[in-house]
Amino acid sequence: MMDLINALWLKRRDIISDEYDESLAYISKIIPLKIHEIPTGTKCWTWTVPEKWSVTKAYIENMHGKRLLDLSEHPLVVVSFSLPIDAIVTKDELMEHLHTRPDNPDAIPFEFKYYEKDWGFCIQYNRLKNFNEEKYHVVIKSKFEQGTLKVGEYIVPGESTDSVVIVTHLCHPGMVNDDLAGVAVSIEIAKELSKKKNHYTYRFLFLPETIGSIAYLSQNEELIKTFKYGIFLEMLGCNNPLALQLSKENDTKLDVLSKYVMDKKGINHIVGDFRTIIGNDEFVFDYPGIDIPMVSISRASINHPFPEYHTDKDNPSIISVDRLIEAKNVTLSILEMLDGDYVPVKRYRGPLFLSGYGLWVDWKKNKHNEKVNLDNDKILFNINDYDSVFDIARKTGLDYFFVFEFLDRMFNKNLIEKKQ
Query: Residue 243 carries which DSSP code?
Result: E
Topology of domain 52-145, CATH: Glucose Oxidase; domain 1 (3.50.30)
Please tell me the predicted confidence (pLDDT) of residue 286: 97
* Burial class of residue 22 (count of CB atoms within 10 Å of its CB; 0-12, 13-18, 19+): middle
pLDDT digits (tens, 9 = 90+) for 172-217: 999 999 999 999 999 999 999 999 999 999 999 999 999 999 999 9
Predicted structure pTM score: 0.93
Query: Alpha helices, DSSP H only, in 220-320?
Result: 221-224, 253-264, 282-285
Give pLDDT, residue 374.
87
Q: Could you give the CA distance from residue 197 to residue 385 in angstroms, rounded to a whole number?
A: 25
pLDDT in tens, 269-308: 999 999 999 899 999 999 999 999 999 999 998 878 999 9
Percentage of the chain modeled with pLDDT above 90: 92
User: Between 3.40.630.10, 2.40.50.140, 3.30.70.580, 3.30.2350.10, what CATH number should domain 2-49+148-340 receive?
Assistant: 3.40.630.10
8 Å CB contact between 313 and 110: no
Residue 231, classed as helix, strand or coil, is strand
| Torsion on CA atoms 272, 278, 280, 283, rounded to nearest 10 | 40
E-strand ranges in 81-186 read 85-90, 98-99, 121-122, 135-145, 148-156, 163-169
Q: Tell me, what's the pLDDT at 361?
A: 80
Of 328, 337, 296, nearest to 190 by C-alpha is 328
Boundaries of every domain in the chain: 2-49+148-340, 52-145, 343-419
User: What Cα–Cα distance (Å) separates residue 206 from each residue in 149, 165, 287, 293?
Assistant: 12, 11, 19, 19
Q: In the chain, which stretches have pLDDT less than 50?
A: none
For residue 136, how far is the Cα from the chain centroid? 42
